[in-house]
């Protein structure tokens, strides 16, 4: 290998390493955005479940259900 080939390999390797670092930093940002979206959706679903639980355990709902069964 000549000095030009070694220099070319070093330059290409440096460029590849910097591209890999940029790729990983952007990937982490995207993962944190997705995680925030999932947490927000989970909170909305928890609120919906709480609302449904309060409706189902309500006395008037249970009375309507018993009347409908008759």
Q: In this predicted model, what pLDDT tens digit does every residue of 11-34 receive, in sequence order?
A: 898 899 988 888 888 777 767 778
pLDDT given for residue 63 in this prediction: 76
Task: Considering only the C-alpha atoms of the chain, give the largest distance between any 2 of them, rounded to a whole number of Å.
Answer: 94
pLDDT above 80: residue 59: no
28-46 burial, b at 16+ Cβ within 10 Å, e below that, comes to eeeeeeeeeeeeeeeeeee
Query: pTM value?
Result: 0.50
**Residue that has been written with the tokens 């609120």 in this structure:** 47
**Residue that has been written with the tokens 């940029």 in this structure:** 22
């Amino acid at each position: 290998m000549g000095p030009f080939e070694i220099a070319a390999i070093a330059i290409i390797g440096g460029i590849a390493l910097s591209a890999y670092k940029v790729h990983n930093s952007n990937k982490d940002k995207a993962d944190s955005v997705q995680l925030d979206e999932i947490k927000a959706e989970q909170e909305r679903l928890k609120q919906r479940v709480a609302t449904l639980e309060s409706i189902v355990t309500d006395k008037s709902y249970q009375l309507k259900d018993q009347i409908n069964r008759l």
